[in-house]
Amino acid sequence: MRLPFMKKYNLDEFEFSQSYLFFWDKIERSHYWLNNIVTTAKQGEELDGRLVSFLLKDPINDGGQWDMIVNLVNKYGLVPKEFFKESFSSKKSLHMNAIIKTKLREFAMELREKVKANASDEELQATIDKQIAIIYNIVATCLGTPPEKFTFEYYNKEKAYNSFGSLTPQEFYNTHVRPLFNVDDKVCLVSDPRDSNPFGNLYTLQCLGNVVGGRQTAYNNQPIETLMKAVKDSIQGGEAVWFGCEVSKRFERKHGLEDLDAHDYKLIFNTDVQVGLKKADRLRYGDSCMTHAMVFTAVGTDELGNPTKFRVENSYGDKEYNKGYLLLTEPWFREFVFEIVVDKKYITDEVLEVFKQEAKVLPAWDPMGTLACPLCSKE
């Protein structure tokens, strides 16, 4: 999204405000979670049952799925970073999240008791509205209050002055960003090789989302080769690719290398580690899941045009690795990449047809939902 905007307006540097979407995600995800509490209570789910226990264990965190970003951008738009900058709690969200989690659990008890007392839907909604007002105050105190309107002024590479505004964040996105990068044109493909989830099918997860009534979190399950080709085609078409992976496995942090040969465990322990199970079995036995999202920005190919390595931009700043970039190899991609987001134009009609299916609902605790997990929170 940032790159086509910079190209269009001939900018040397530019960033969208991450804190802006971060702010609204906290509000919307809290609202979504409280509605799940009401729904599960009405369904008769026990407090100590697996589903409610799962919801209460981690009510809110910083991880997420692509469809959640789409919901936020479509509802709230975007702002340049200068109009809603980083704060202590946007960089280190652990304590803010802990406060929100405590309040949400408190609110959950109140809502479950009201459901038990046969409160009307109107009364339950009024209660949620009051609770969200409290959450809003907490988040606004920690992050600041987002702008309602702004005027964007800038100098391009030729030092020519330009401006546009005054605009709402929604107007800014719809007028100046959407024609260059329409979030609704991007689709999510996953590669889950478990026999229980055949390729060529659409999946979603119970209770996974961030905006009530928003876009469903949808996983189009395809062989890993389909994902790899889509990444290559997208990069060669000039578009970077967002992806989810298990970042810590076979990761040589000092030099920023993701490769199956990055560590030789067998030499030291006389037994293999992390690849002793197949990818599907690691998912089934709890030894693998998505833990981090990054961006593919370049691809290297062999003489036949097959991908052999990828350049990856991480979100930890330019002081780590090679100015913030990693090298990820094709074998590592096969084992530890699970999810990508690309434009529809890089996907075949056959794969796109899968999105017309009714999604099979996976349980809330399924490992395919763990990109929105506690591991993703910033300390």
Q: Which of 307, 339, 311, 308 is nearest to 324 (CA)?
A: 311
**330 vs 304: CA distance, rounded Å:** 14
Residue 26, sorted as left (phi over 0), alpha (psi -120 to 50) or beta, turns out to be: alpha
At position 45, the amino acid (one-letter code) is E
**308 vs 330: CA distance, rounded Å:** 5
Q: Where in the chain is the domain with CATH 3.90.70.10?
A: 2-143, 183-376
Q: What is the pLDDT of residues 296-318, one digit of tens each?
A: 999 999 999 999 999 998 876 66
Assess whether pLDDT exceeds 80 at residue 320. Answer: no
Q: What is the pLDDT of residue 223?
A: 98
Q: What is the pLDDT of residue 378?
A: 40
* Tokens coding 100: 């929100």
Q: What is the pLDDT of residue 376?
A: 42
Q: What is the pLDDT of residue 369?
A: 87
Q: What is the pLDDT of residue 64?
A: 86
Assess whether pLDDT exceeds 90 at residue 333. Answer: yes
Question: Taking a C-beta distance cutoff of 8 angstroms, is the pair 245, 337 a contact?
Answer: yes
Q: What is the pLDDT of residue 318?
A: 66
Mean pLDDT, all residues of the chain: 92
Assess whether pLDDT exceeds 90 at residue 373. Answer: no
**287 vs 293: CA distance, rounded Å:** 18
Q: What is the pLDDT of residue 250?
A: 83
Q: What is the pLDDT of residues 83-123, one digit of tens each?
A: 999 999 999 999 999 999 999 999 999 999 999 999 999 99
Interacting residues of 41 by C-beta distance below 8 A, sequence separation 6+:
111, 112, 115, 116
The residue that leads in pLDDT, 378 or 295, is: 295
Q: What is the pLDDT of residue 319?
A: 67
> At residue 301, what are phi and psi to the nearest 5 degrees?
-125, 160
Distances (CA, A) of 342 to 150, 226, 308, 354, 374: 30, 12, 19, 15, 26
Confidence of residue 245 (pLDDT cuts 50, 70, 90): very high
Confidence of residue 371 (pLDDT cuts 50, 70, 90): confident
**5 vs 152: CA distance, rounded Å:** 13
Assess whether pLDDT exceeds 90 at residue 374. Answer: no
Q: How do the residues of the chain divide into helix, strand and coil, expressed in percent and rounded to 5?
A: 45, 20, 40
Q: Which of 103, 102, 104, 128 is nearest to 115 (CA)?
A: 128
Q: What is the pLDDT of residue 377?
A: 39
Interacting residues of 345 by C-beta distance below 8 A, sequence separation 6+:
185, 237
Q: What is the pLDDT of residues 134-150, one digit of tens each?
A: 999 999 999 999 999 99
Q: Which of 31, 56, 30, 68 is nearest to 209 (CA)?
A: 68
What single-letter DSSP state applies at residue 363? Answer: P
Q: Which of 356, 311, 88 is nearest to 200 (CA)?
A: 356
Q: Which CATH superfamily is domain 2-143 in?
A: Cysteine proteinases (3.90.70.10)
Q: 68-72, 153-157, 270-274: which range is least confident on average? A: 270-274
Distance of CA 265 to the CA centre of its chain: 31
Residue 160, sorted as left (phi over 0), alpha (psi -120 to 50) or beta, turns out to be: beta
- Its pTM surpasses 0.85: yes
**Which architecture characterizes domain 183-376 according to CATH?**
Alpha-Beta Complex (3.90)
Q: Which of 66, 93, 97, 67 is nearest to 293 (CA)?
A: 66
At position 374, the amino acid (one-letter code) is P
- What is the 3-state secondary structure of 252-278? ECCCCEECCCCCCHHHHHCCCCCCCCC
Assess whether pLDDT exceeds 90 at residue 323. Answer: no
Q: What is the pLDDT of residues 247-299, one digit of tens each?
A: 888 887 777 888 888 888 889 899 988 788 899 999 999 998 888 899 999 99
Q: What is the pLDDT of residue 109?
A: 98
Q: What is the pLDDT of residues 196-225, one digit of tens each?
A: 999 999 999 999 999 999 998 999 999 999
Q: What is the mean pLDDT of residues 123-134?
A: 98
Question: Taking a C-beta distance cutoff of 8 angstroms, is the pair 208, 373 a contact?
Answer: no
Q: What is the pLDDT of residues 159-169, one digit of tens each?
A: 999 998 899 99
